[in-house]
Copies of this chain bind each other. A is one copy, B any other.
Amino acid sequence: MMDIRAYLREKKGIVDEALQGFAPRHEGPAEEVARAMNYSLFAGGKRLRPILCMAGAAAVGGDERLVLPAACALEMIHTYSLIHDDLPVMDNDDLRRGKPTSHKVFGEAVALLAGDGLLTEAFALMARTGPSGEPEPPTLLRVIALIARAAGYEGMVGGQTVDIVSEGKQVDAATVRFIHTRKTGALIAASVVSGAILGGGDEGRVAAITAYGEATGLAFQIADDILDIEGDSEKMGKRVGGDARKRKITYPSVLGLEESRKIQETVLEKALSALEGFDTRADPLRDLARYIVERKK
């Protein structure tokens, strides 16, 4: 059994260093928006999506360094979604990871534009690293399409929309599943799958990793819901209980805490069994799935 905390620390260091290299430059008249983009990009994220991308590449025997542009692009997309999600017209959150949210520091207009800038830069980053040869341009286009679809109206943006318009309403288990698989699950799945594709995995491996990614993404969001009830505000860097105050659709609110825990266990098993045909190079993915369910922040 590997030490997941040491693993996360090591990979986070690699991602942070790569992100510094890819981050917007603070100069010229557009420095205000670059500053806002960087403020959120370096506000203390766990870098889970980039790490999943690297672990996906490693699981199929690929080079995890080769996926760093895509991995950092995924973090930019995740960060943009947090900035927009925190805006007053959305969740209206003042704190994120223990720091004031973007619009509290830069104002709503610049925060909105910083989110737009990060989303756009993610695609610029992926596309411009292509023509140099590796990864092959057709592979890179496939990954860009995959990530865009996961982030777009059929994925994260669609899930966010249903989440927002459902607030305070009675919904069924199918709707909460739709929200969770799209809002968080889609980008988490795309992270690990894009790693497997860029790492050179064959179609069978990519399909298995897709099953792993979808299950892990759902497990992640259920864990988030449970943490919002049982978590420690100090560790999480934000107030707990926010979901209930905002009458958010969550697994516990729709199905109860016990049932949510059972679903989480089933989903974790599904993630692990998807990796049955993989050797020890998939151990980071196995431990990441367990960590995602058991984490305390």
Q: Which A residues fall within an 8 A CB radius of B?
A: 24, 29-30, 32-34, 37, 80, 84, 87, 89-90, 108-110, 112-113, 115-117, 119-121, 123-124, 127-128, 130-131, 136-138, 140-142, 144-145, 148-149, 151-154, 157-162, 164-165, 175, 178, 182
* Chain B residues closer than 8 Å to A142, beta-carbon distance: 127, 131
Contact for A89 among B33, B109, B144, B165, CB less than 8 A: B109
A117 & B152 in contact (Cβ 8 Å cutoff): yes
Q: Please indicate the chain B residues that have their CB under 8 angstroms from the CB of A138 in the complex.
A: 130-131, 137
Q: Which residues of chain B are within 8 angstroms of A145 by Cβ–Cβ distance? A: 124, 127-128, 130
Closest to A166 in B: B29
Offer 19 A-B interface pairs, CB within 8 angstroms, sorted by A: A30-B154, A30-B158, A30-B159, A34-B153, A34-B158, A84-B113, A84-B116, A89-B89, A90-B109, A110-B161, A116-B119, A116-B157, A120-B148, A120-B151, A120-B152, A127-B141, A127-B145, A127-B148, A137-B138
Contact in complex: B164, A113 (CB < 8 Å): yes
Answer whether A108 and B124 are a contact pair too, CB < 8 Å, given A32-B162, A117-B152, A152-B117.
no
**Closest B residue to A108 using CB positions:** B89
How far does the alpha carbon of A87 sit from the alpha carbon of B112 in the complex, in Å?
10
* Chain B min CB distance to A174 (Å): 9
Complex contact A123–B144 (CB within 8 A)? yes
Q: A159 CB to closest chain B CB, in angstroms?
A: 8
**Chain B residues in 8 Å Cβ range of A113:** 84, 157, 160-161, 164
* 8 more CB-based (< 8 A) A-B contacts, given A84-B116, A120-B157, A124-B144: A30-B159, A30-B162, A30-B182, A32-B165, A84-B113, A109-B165, A115-B116, A127-B142
For the complex, give the distance between the alpha carbons of A162 and B142 in Å: 35
- Asked if B112 contacts A89 (CB within 8 A), the reply is yes
Q: Which residues of chain B have C-beta atoms less than 8 A from A32's C-beta?
A: 161-162, 165
Query: Are B90 and A33 interface neighbours, CB within 8 A?
Result: no
Contacts of A109 in B (CB 8 A): 89-90, 161, 164-165
- Complex alpha-carbon distance, A110 and B119, angstroms: 17
Query: Given the complex of chains A and B, what is the CA–CA distance between A121 and B151 in angstroms?
Result: 9
**Complex: A237 Cα to B210 Cα, angstroms:** 48
**In the bound complex, do residue B120 and residue A30 qualify as a contact, i.e. CB atoms below 8 Å apart?**
no
Rounded to whole Å, the gap between the CB of A150 and the closest CB of chain B is: 9
CB pair A153 B121 closer than 8 Å: yes
- A124 contacts B149, CB within 8 Å? yes
Which residues on B sit within 8 Å (CB–CB) of A178? 29
Inter-chain contacts of A158 with B (CB < 8 A): 29-30, 33-34, 117
